[in-house]
Structure 1
Amino acid sequence: MISPKKYAKAAKVSPNGFKTTNEFFNYVFKDEEMIWMGQNTNHLHDHSEIAEAMIDCINEGNYCKYPPPEGFPELKELVVRDLGLGDGFEALITAGGTESLYLCMNDILEPEDNAITCDPGYLIIDNFASRFACSVISIPIYSRECGYKLTPELVLENMDRNTHMVSLIDPLNPLGSSYTKDEIKAFADIANDHDIYLLHDITYRDFAMDHHLAADYAPEKTVTVYSFSKIYGMAGLRIGAIVATSDLIESIKSIVINDLGTNVISQAGAIAALRSKNRWVDRIRNTTFRNQKIIKDAVDEVDGAFIPVYPSSGNMMAIDIHKTGVDPLDLADYLLKRKIFVRQGAYTSRAFGDRYIRLSFSIPREQVEIFAENFVDVMEFLRPSN
């Protein structure tokens, strides 16, 4: 038997009634009545020119050919232009933001390095960093005192001579917290002054009312992770990018595994999405933002429950139910029985996962209203009797 690698992912706990997580996700995927609030996906796009571009790609038979290995030049240019970055920056097209994260850490981190992340956060980042660095310092940030986010002060307190990378998820999955311009500048100063890299994951950037790029202030020390999964509604198509200076991109290219290129159909959709973005982005952003109020009103009805970060700068939020006595896993299970898919907190936090559920809301308003009604009802049912 092959021994597990030291960095193997911890086995995920399957929801009640399912043998494996794969069986569970197949179940929720196949159920067309399921209200999908568990994976931060975006269900607000119409059958638009994005879909039409992919259908045309299929009808023309272009999927029979390999694409350029680094991505179609038009798509690379559109990504950089979308971020407003100038000359000297380049995009490398990847099979999603997760592959981008892996490639960045593989290229930048050495065995003697440590990396700084935060808890709560996107735990796969910690897993990837542990494969290439000596250690991962996961800083607890589930606190009003730090604004439920990693701060420059916390980084300075926890870094040492071996720190080589700081991960900034901005806006932060699962809480929806984000950074001011001054905070981003402070992180950039740390990177420049201490010769470390900022891994700036901006997957949820377009849902934020205000957002700032670390690459504007520390261009030589920032790798920006870009995804088409969320605002573009293309999660199942697995396409993203890494954006950095040409020197950094050239280095990352040297460890690429997928050297035959990223899915042709996905790239066709991504090009159409970027070309058409100004025609639909405000509608999706505004609908997503308004949906938060429906959830907030429902949470306010439940004694002991609260939203740590409101309004969220992303398309997701956490609902803290710790003081109610209700287990987040039980809540997620009961909502699933009512065809509402949310995630219990352990998916995004080792230290605080027993306190909250995480849910996304870039879905039709009517579905958010169904969640709100059921959340109040199920919480009353599950609350322990005094």
Structure 2
Amino acid sequence: MPKISNKGREMPESPIRKLVPFAEAAVKKGRKIYQLNIGQPDIKTPKSALDAVKNHNIEVLSYSHSAGFDTYREKLAGYYQKTALPVEKEDIIITTGGSEALLFAMGSITDPGDEVIIPEPFYANYNGFATASGVKIKPIRASIEDSFALPPISEFEKLITEKTKAILICNPGNPTGYLYTLEEVKQLADLALKHDIFIVSDEVYREFAYEGAQHHSIMSLPELAENAIMVDSVSKRYSMCGARIGCLVSKNKEVMSTAMKFAQARLSPPTFAQIASEAALDTPQEYFDEVIEQYTFRRNLLVEGLEKIEGVRVAKPNGAFYCIAELPVEDTDDFARWLLESFEDNNETVMVAPAAGFYSTPDTGKNQVRIAYVLKKEDLERSISILEKALKEYKLQN
């Protein structure tokens, strides 16, 4: 029998999606599942985006330019300029989701065996992107004790070798919701310049900052122009996860010309989704104000509810719409499966994402879960109640 690749064997499962078969089985039993495991907002997609597709009179659904629609890139550059980022149309390549932008970035700046330093816990798919690119992740541990703030720069410097090509951050963070301060961003920039490496900043949650906090983009530092690569997406900003439209942004012309070769190899990003994404840029500020207000309320509701559960510790996020919670269990993988297979409260249960998959260091985060507060008030309140009852019952059985 032919053998699959070592790369395929080493490709990690998604901690977010690997429990789907258990959830499907629970649904077949007639159970209702409150999905706290995945960042799929229930906020409505802007009507302008949906109408742009609905009302478009396309006769031939053709390719776009490999870099994306010229009109979209021009308009997107204008959006960034409004947030004081010196981005021009030529600095942007439209991608099939932020995921493809990350793959283009890794393909453009690393070779097999190279290293990328990432504060952990981090977005689980970074593990998969690194495996697909033959890149080794050098993790540096952030701690729930300080809400997953940037670890000391001295710890980053200890990990830098001749194989280090970049530091990758997510700002605000998935899965932690941590929002980096300007001082932290500048510290990373100084380190990148000192060692002549890249900073790749995943900023898909850049619109989600709470209580007056400000997002500081890696692209805002002019001295870092040749070292900065930004990844962005419409998925969360406009509640358009299914559009699969993102972008790669950099002032470094060699990076962009290299990334363009990867873009050409996959031909072009999807046409209808670009039409929707371009129209979404006309979304008024009122939409974002309401969304931020809603997520701030949901965050407070969730964090306060979790803090009342005996044995639970949670880091309060300042951005995105996730938090990491420590539970009074030894193995949240087992607990998450048990929630779906064996537990119900009035025929309802919850689905969480075990946090071990958000770490690269083995046997780390095994008592943690990521929770996405993307559900309405009543569903979040019910989820907290179910989780509290489940923890009590699980403790009695183990």
TM-score range, shorter chain: 0.7 to 0.9
Check whether the contact 1:317–1:358 (CA below 8 A) recurs between aligned residues: yes
Q: Measure how far apart 1:204 and its partner are.
A: 1.5
For residues 189-208 of structure 1, the aligned pairs below 5 Å read: 189-208=190-209
Check whether the contact 1:298–1:375 (CA below 8 A) recurs between aligned residues: no
Instruction: Note the residue ranges of structure 1 that are not aligned, 5 or more in a row.
Output: none
For residues 162-241 of structure 1, the aligned pairs below 5 Å read: 162-209=163-210, 210-217=214-221, 218-241=224-247
Match of 1:256 among 260, 263, 271: 263
Check whether the contact 1:100–1:225 (CA below 8 A) recurs between aligned residues: yes
Q: Measure how far apart 1:129 and its partner are.
A: 2.8
Match of 2:248 in 1: 242
| Closer, same or farther: CA 118–381 of 1 in aligned 2, 3 Å | same
CA offsets per residue over residues 285-311 of structure 1, 9 Å max, x none?
A: 11011101211222122221010x213
CA offsets per residue over residues 169-197 of structure 1, 9 Å max, x none?
A: 11121111121001101111111221100
CA offsets per residue over residues 116-165 of structure 1, 9 Å max, x none?
A: 11321123223323444563211222353684444433211221233111
Distance between the aligned counterparts of 1:143 and 1:208, measured in 2? 19
| Closer, same or farther: CA 312–44 of 1 in aligned 2, 3 Å | same
Check whether the contact 1:114–1:136 (CA below 8 A) recurs between aligned residues: yes
Q: Measure how far apart 1:216 and its partner are.
A: 1.8
Distance between the aligned counterparts of 1:250 and 1:112, measured in 2? 23
Give the TM-score of the pair, scaled to structure 1.
Answer: 0.87
Indicate yes or no: 2:315 matched with 1:318: no
Check whether the contact 2:305–2:384 (CA below 8 A) recurs between aligned residues: yes
Q: Measure how far apart 1:316 and its partner are.
A: 0.7
Match of 2:86 in 1: 86
What SS does the aligned partner of 1:204 have?
coil
Check whether the contact 1:342–1:359 (CA below 8 A) recurs between aligned residues: yes
For residues 1-386 of structure 1, the aligned pairs below 5 Å read: 1-6=2-7, 8-10=9-11, 12=13, 23=21, 34-45=33-44, 48-57=47-56, 60-61=57-58, 64-84=61-81, 85-86=85-86, 90-111=91-112, 113-132=114-133, 135-144=136-145, 147-209=148-210, 210-217=214-221, 218-245=224-251, 247=253, 248-256=255-263, 259-307=266-314, 309-321=315-327, 324-325=328-329, 327-333=331-337, 335-336=339-340, 338-349=348-359, 350-384=362-396
Check whether the contact 2:45–2:240 (CA below 8 A) recurs between aligned residues: no
| Closer, same or farther: CA 101–377 of 1 in aligned 2, 3 Å | same
Q: Choose 263-272 or 130-139, whichever is displaced more.
A: 130-139
What SS does the aligned partner of 1:176 have?
coil
Check whether the contact 2:178–2:318 (CA below 8 A) recurs between aligned residues: yes
Q: Choose 248-257 or 175-184, whichever is displaced more.
A: 248-257
CA offsets per residue over residues 95-118 of structure 1, 9 Å max, x none?
A: 101111111001101245321113
Q: Choose 371-380 or 1-10, whichever is displaced more.
A: 1-10
Check whether the contact 1:116–1:163 (CA below 8 A) recurs between aligned residues: yes
% identical aligned pairs: 21
Distance between the aligned counterparts of 2:137 and 2:46, measured in 1? 43
Number of positions where the alignment pairs a residue of Structure 1 with one of Structure 2 = 378
Q: Choose 366-375 or 178-187, whichever is displaced more.
A: 366-375
Q: Measure how far apart 1:205 and its partner are.
A: 1.5
RMSD: 3.0
AA in 2 matched with 1:50: A
